Amino acid sequence: MTRYLTIIIISLFSLTTYGQTKMRSIDELINDKDPGWILVKEWIDSAKNKVEILPVDTNKAKDALYKTQVTTKSPMGSIVYMTGGLLVDNGWIRILGSGSDKLSRSLPEWNRGKTFEDYGQPIPYLLIADDAIGGIFILNGGGLGSDLGKVYYLAPDNLEYEPLDLTYTEFLNFCFNKNLDQFYKGYRWTNWKSEVAKLKGDQVFNFFPYLWTEQGKDINKVSKKEVPIEESYKLTLEFRKKLALDAEK
């Protein structure tokens, strides 16, 4: 596990220290001798939670891997290269890969313009996954704190960057085996499974009153509608600014 964390940190976050670097070729990133996908697939096969592997388009996968600049020896690189993404627990959590019909966003494309402006630039943090209620899972590259390589959760119920104290590999285990009903206690409404199953991978549910307000604490009493995740993410950042939460980051 430590070995995979080191690979991800070196691959991604050395950019933060040294600035713009020469991007490695796709041949340098594909590791056929020791692919991380073998382990990831084993984890999926033994997962307690339902995990759907989205089909991969080879050309899109190569493009996404090149833009992500992570070797396929790592879990992240293997998911980008071998899948269009992963849907966990009936699609409640979406782990980004190279993009597919059900989850059109690729990991690098979703981050461009949000966590970096262009490929090869410094990455203070990386948006790696999200959920149906607008929560965002983020891998820290130094922009969120000193715990480099750890995952945070930008929570829709308080708009805070919550440290989960998980590496990317541990985050996968969290998604595959954690009691998600417990983690999301109070935020899963009646019939959520059937509604989330119909939700597109580039959409989330927007709630009113907002979940971070006192009036929005009862998930079964608020109204909800499907909105593009781009809109939801931007709105979350806008509210953080208005509430002066960015000063705490």
Alpha carbon 115 to chain centroid, angstroms: 13
This prediction's pTM: 0.91
Identify the structural domains of the chain with CATH numbers, from first to last.
Answer: 2-248 (3.40.1580.10)
Neighbours of 80 (CB within 10 A): 31
3-state secondary structure of 140: strand
* pLDDT band, residue 21 (cuts 50/70/90): low
Write out pLDDT tens, residues 170-198: 999 999 999 999 999 999 999 999 999 99
- The CA distance from 235 to 230, in Å, is 9
Pairing between β-strand 125-131 and β-strand 93-96 as defined by DSSP bridges? antiparallel
Whether residue 120 has pLDDT greater than 90:
no
Whether residue 12 has pLDDT greater than 70:
no
Whether residue 45 has pLDDT greater than 80:
yes
Whether residue 2 has pLDDT greater than 70:
no
